[in-house]
Amino acid sequence: MTTFEDILEEAGAFGRSQMRIVSIFCLVSIPFSFVYVGIVFQGFTPEHWCRDPAVSGIRERCGWSLQDARRATVPLMNSSAGVTYSQCQRLDADWNTTGLTCDNPESELIQAQHSTLPTTGCTDGWEYDYEGRQSFVTEFDLVCADAWYVDMFQAALGVGFLVGSIAIGYLADKYGRMKSFVMTNFFIGVAGILVATSPNYIALLVFRVLFGFGVKGGWMVGYVLITELVGVEYRRMVGVTYQMFFSLGILILPLLAYFIPNWRWLQVVFTIPYICFLTYYWFIPESPRWLLSQNKRIEALEITKAIAKENKKTLSKNIETLTDENTDSISTVSFMDLFKTSKLRKFTFILSFNWFTSAVVYQGLIMRLGILGGNVYVDFLISGIVELPAAFLILLTIERIGRRLPFAAANIVAGAACLITAFIPDSMFWLKSAVACVGRLGITMAFEMVVFVNTELYPTVISCIVRLFLSGALAFVAGGLVLLLPETKGVPLPETIDDVDCPNR
């Protein structure tokens, strides 16, 4: 009996045809990185303070800059960063009776800050030090009590990732890789433009969910397709290369954000590649492996012959006996197959946990730790450079010492780096940065390995379902666990450990 692997060896396990397809599909990873971490630029929160209509009038009359007005009229407060200007309170004063003059606002600063003037909230909005950038934070005033809405923006993407992963995974296994890929990219194009034209925050959140619905699923379908078109011995290489282009996108993102400072136009740029990906329908074939699993033998043979022709290979007559070992079970494929046997249950739970932890740690390192302090453009440039060696380390180690040890070591290194970084004082800046970079390298390796390990543990008939299901399954558990936490809105920050147990004391 001839299998598809036998025929693919004759057609070329990784010939000119596969090189063309993989090269084209690797481009899908670049905009995926834009979407995944673009919130750092789209949701940038600049320095801000309360807008005071009376101060605006004085500023216009005196010709002050925003900084002059802030120094003269904004109260100081103690924070973890030291004494800073208040961002959420303003002085409740009649500035016409305070003696504030245009000549020397600095001299009035001490008098204003040390007086007994009461403070009030930002009832008239905020002033922003835009730094040349416009984000949805400044447009919708998502600061102070509403600052948590910024995290909701990214959480909405995660919800879209989860629901879309499961739905698109099912569609890809039922209707084909390419059809699902094209339909998904059309959906992404529409949703992306809707995000860019959102009239308010609620609409932005809804469209962000829809955008995420397609983006992650489309990326994973592309990964599945290219790994199914090459020989077994090349799957790791093309899979890691596909993910390496994600790191390339991290390098490109700060350049785009630097030259496109408006979040709406940046969103349009994020969306345009997905519209271009619609053209793949006309020159990328369906996966022959999927066609065989669906008993579409003739179509699978035609595509395989076309691959052989482009690779300048000739197929032998045994192609007529081509069969697929999965065809008997295809009609019963479902999500429950992930838990059908004890081994599958073990694989599913272990890989689900690894998907979840890799995503959380990666997100934390790229968006929270930073690498070089305040310059977010340099941060992301360094981030991309740090990630690139991960792919080469994977390719160097997995064929020599296997998958398990590098996979486990990458997770352990990332975890150790995060723990060590937490104990390094801020004064040891470069040491802290170096350890953070090591953690970033480790979690990038873990994130890339969890994807292709799935490829080797599950059969073709559920390959797309399992990758997409595992990438979001534990988010449901996380959402449930969050409900066990107390509500903190309007609750004072605890000063001692006893305050945690008795917050109302």
**Does any domain span residue 18?**
yes
Q: How far apart are CA 489 and CA 324, in angstroms?
A: 57
Distance between CA atoms of 112 and 155, rounded to whole angstroms? 41
Q: How far is Cα 132 from Cα 248, in angstroms, rounded to an integer? A: 25
Tokens encoding 459: 């059969």
The reply to whether 197 falls in a domain is yes
Q: Are 161 and 216 in contact (CB under 8 A)?
A: yes
Q: Is residue 495 part of a domain?
A: no
- The answer to whether 355 and 158 are in contact (CB under 8 A) is no
- State whether residue 74 is helix, strand or coil: coil
pLDDT at 330: 46
Q: For residue 113, is it within any domain?
A: no
Cβ-count burial 466-478 (b if 16+ within 10 Å, e if not): bbbbbbbbbbeee
Rounded to two decimals, the pTM is 0.80
DSSP reduced 3-state for 325: coil
In 3-state terms, what secondary structure has residue 389? helix
Could you read off the pLDDT of 450-499 as tens digits, one per residue? 777 776 776 655 555 555 555 555 555 555 444 455 555 455 545 454 55
How far apart CA 49 and CA 52 sit, in angstroms, is 9
Please report the pLDDT score of residue 286 as a whole number: 92
Structural domain includes residue 201 = yes
Residue 118 lies in a domain: no
pLDDT digits (tens, 9 = 90+) for 320-353: 666 555 544 444 555 666 667 787 778 777 877 8
Low pLDDT (below 50) residues in the chain:
108-112, 114, 327-331, 369-373, 480-483, 489, 493, 495, 497
| Alpha-carbon distances of 346 from 197, 339, 342, 457, rounded to whole Å | 45, 8, 6, 11
User: According to the model, what pLDDT value does residue 493 have?
Assistant: 46
Q: Is residue 115 part of a domain?
A: no
Strands (E), 60-160: 76-79, 82-85, 89-91, 119-121, 126-128
**Within-domain flag for 78:** no
Structural domain harbouring 32: 4-44+142-482
Number of separate domains in the chain? 1
Helix (H) or strand (E) holding 218: helix 201-228
CATH, residue 454: 1.20.1250.20
